[in-house]
């Protein structure tokens, strides 16, 4: 199993550009989520999904969109990038709800917005 | 929502000594408290977790304790080794939403040889 795969690993954007961070998992996990990691602020939940067709907002959803058309994929879209969105982004999945089992993280995507 | 505070932000210990990281949470209904370790440039990985019906849990050199009354939990690492150098994150589930985990800000642990 590849686990949780994120692409791209690195990306530089200009303010106002759009892009999509891809996340795929091959563990048949129902739960998938996106976190951003910033120095001194830990991991903050952006959006999460409890299954195909079901998404919900986390702690810091503004400026990000998500959709879940399949169990395997959970892309994160930035519609109009801002410098405040410079961060490392992690996709994470779990077989059950995260309050009962381990979250499996991808390797991260480092995004810089100029 | 849940608010998790983690202290200290950095911790330097001599190899062989113990390291203790403390976290407090705000939601008295939280019932799941995992700890994740993130080595430099790598992904976070679960190292130990504890549920609200348990006061202490051990796994070799690491242990976690939970005080529900005071709403705090701690990670203890004994006999530290260079490979313990990493960033450690505590987390707590939201009592009203099992699908949300709130993380602390992280503790950078450095083990000096």
pLDDT band at residue B35 using 50, 70 and 90 as cut-offs = very high
Q: Whats the size of chain B, residue-wise?
A: 113
pLDDT tens for each residue of B11-30: 999 999 999 999 999 999 99
Per-residue pLDDT of chain A (114 residues; tens, 9 = 90+): 789 999 999 999 999 999 999 999 999 999 999 999 998 889 999 999 999 999 999 999 999 999 999 999 999 999 999 999 999 999 999 998 888 889 999 999 999 999
Using DSSP bridges, classify how beta strands B45-51 and A104-105 pair: parallel, antiparallel or unpaired.
unpaired
Contact B89 A105 (CB under 8 A): no
- In order, the DSSP letters of A60-109 are S-TTEEE--SSSSB--EEESS--GGG-EEEEEEEESS-TTTS--EE---E
Which residues of A are less than 8 Å from B106 in CB distance? 40, 42
Which residues of A are less than 8 Å from B108 in CB distance? none
Contact assessment for residue B11 and residue B19, using Cβ atoms and an 8 Å cutoff: yes
Place of tokens 């796994």: B59
Please give the torsion angle defined by the CA atoms of residues B45, B47, B51 and B54, in that order, rounded to the nearest 10 degrees.
Answer: 180
């Amino acid at each position: 199993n590849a686990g949780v795969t994120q692409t791209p690993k690195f990306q530089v954007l200009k303010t106002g550009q759009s892009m999509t961070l891809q996340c795929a998992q091959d563990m048949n996990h129902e739960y998938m989520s996106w976190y951003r990691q910033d120095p001194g602020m830990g991991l903050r939940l952006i959006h999460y999904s409890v299954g195909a067709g079901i998404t919900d907002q986390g702690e810091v959803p503004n400026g990000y969109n998500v959709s879940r058309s399949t169990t395997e994929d959970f892309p994160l879209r930035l519609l109009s990038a801002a410098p405040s969105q410079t961060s490392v982004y992690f996709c994470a999945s779990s077989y059950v709800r995260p309050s009962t089992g381990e979250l499996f993280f991808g390797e991260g995507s480092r995004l810089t917005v100029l | 929502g849940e608010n998790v505070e983690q202290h200290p932000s950095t911790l330097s210990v001599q190899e062989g000594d113990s390291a203790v990281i403390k976290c407090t949470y705000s939601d008295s209904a939280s019932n799941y408290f995992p700890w994740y370790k993130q080595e430099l440039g790598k992904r976070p990985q679960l190292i130990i977790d504890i549920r609200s019906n348990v006061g202490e849990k051990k796994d070799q050199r690491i242990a976690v304790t939970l005080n529900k009354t005071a709403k705090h939990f701690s990670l203890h690492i004994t006999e530290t080794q260079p490979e313990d150098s990493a960033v450690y994150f505590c987390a707590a589930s939201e009592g009203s939403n099992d699908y949300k985990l709130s993380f602390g800000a992280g503790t950078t642990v450095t083990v000096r040889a």
